[in-house]
Amino acid sequence: VVLTLSGLVGLVAGLSGIGGGIFMAPVLHLIRWAEARRIAAFASLYILVNSITGLTGQLAKGGWSAIAEPLASYWPLVAAVFIGGQLGSWLGLKILSPSWLRRLTALLVGYAALRLLWQGISM
């Protein structure tokens, strides 16, 4: 069952162009893999590893020039992601209950789904 779900997450991620981490967290909640905090931590690590792998692929393909210009242009986004990640970790550990973490995960996935639908309609 888990292998089939993993394959479906990969398929949907590939078809949509969105990283699999956004789909993986709800699937892990559905199969009751662990408590909400552990799922959030695992999904964050999964997304980080995928991002590093993607950057490594870009470096292998085009060298530093492939990422130097985008990084110079979008460095405020990198800083915002780092700050947001730290704030989210703190909120998840200290403030939010597991039920709120599940709700926020559902809200994020719903937002991603609506964006995909909107993009599909406007094609």
The ranges assigned to domains in the chain are 2-121
pLDDT (tens digit, 9 = 90+) per residue, 44-93? 888 888 788 878 887 888 888 777 887 788 888 888 988 998 898 888 88
Q: Check: CB of residue 9 under 8 Å from CB of residue 23.
A: yes
What is the Cα–Cα distance from 45 to 43, expressed in whole angstroms? 5
pLDDT (tens digit, 9 = 90+) per residue, 16-37? 777 777 788 888 888 888 988 8
What is the Cα–Cα distance from 66 to 92, expressed in whole angstroms? 35
Mean pLDDT, to the nearest integer, of 84-105?
Answer: 86
C-alpha of 14 from chain center:
13
Q: Write the single-letter amino acid at 25.
A: A
Q: CA-based angle 109:114:120, to the nearest 5? A: 125
Task: Give the global pTM.
Answer: 0.64
What pLDDT, on the 0 to 100 scale, is given for residue 80? Answer: 92
Tokens of 41: 């931590």
